[in-house]
A = this chain, B = another copy of it.
Amino acid sequence: MSPVLRVMGVDPGLTRCGVGVVDVARDRSARIVHVGVVRSAADLPASERLHIIAEGLREVVREFGPAAIAVERVFAQQNLSTVMGTAQASGVALLIAAENGIPAATHTPSEVKAAITGYGSAEKLQVQTMVARVLRLDALPQPADAADALALALCHAWRGGPQPARGGEADEMTPAQRAWRNAERSTRR
């Protein structure tokens, strides 16, 4: 059997934080391991909301033991009313990766779209449709945050992801990821 990379994707947010875990084989085939959303109520203090998100993410890490965590990269230009909470949640997701010794990477929305559909300006529905097809799901994953988390995890495995310069897990991932990345480059550029 070919080596399998288990990746956890996180679409950060305070109200809904999407989480998806996929197993991706060297031949780029993938299966879904887990998908869900961690929610926190808007009337709680920010610190409590971040604590709820952190505990939800830690539970997924403990239960499924991902070898890598991919978090959507947040930009200052996004929706001003929510971007700070989104950035705070992404910080918590990255912290949890480091606390568990799991390499983490961030990917932009257009990197995810390009990795999943072949071009960076794809519509959300096209991304979701492709995610459902790749993972052989009967329906589009819902809500959108959960679908985005799965797309992020697939993107990370397929792109190889930025390699943190560390031993251990990173070394184990490198051969498969490098192979996938090279295959990507030869077909897409």
A83 to chain B, nearest CB (A): 5
The A71-110 residues at the B interface (CB cut-off 8 A) are 74-76, 80, 83-84, 87-92, 94-95, 97-99, 103-104, 106
Task: Tally chain A residues at the interface, Cβ within 8 Å.
Answer: 29
Copies in the complex: 2
Contact A50 B94 (CB under 8 A): yes
**Which residues of A come within 8 Å of B, CB atoms?**
45-48, 50-51, 54, 69, 74-76, 80, 83-84, 87-92, 94-95, 97-99, 103-104, 106, 164
11 contacts between A and B (CB under 8 A): A45-B104, A46-B94, A47-B98, A50-B94, A51-B95, A54-B95, A75-B84, A76-B84, A87-B91, A89-B91, A92-B92
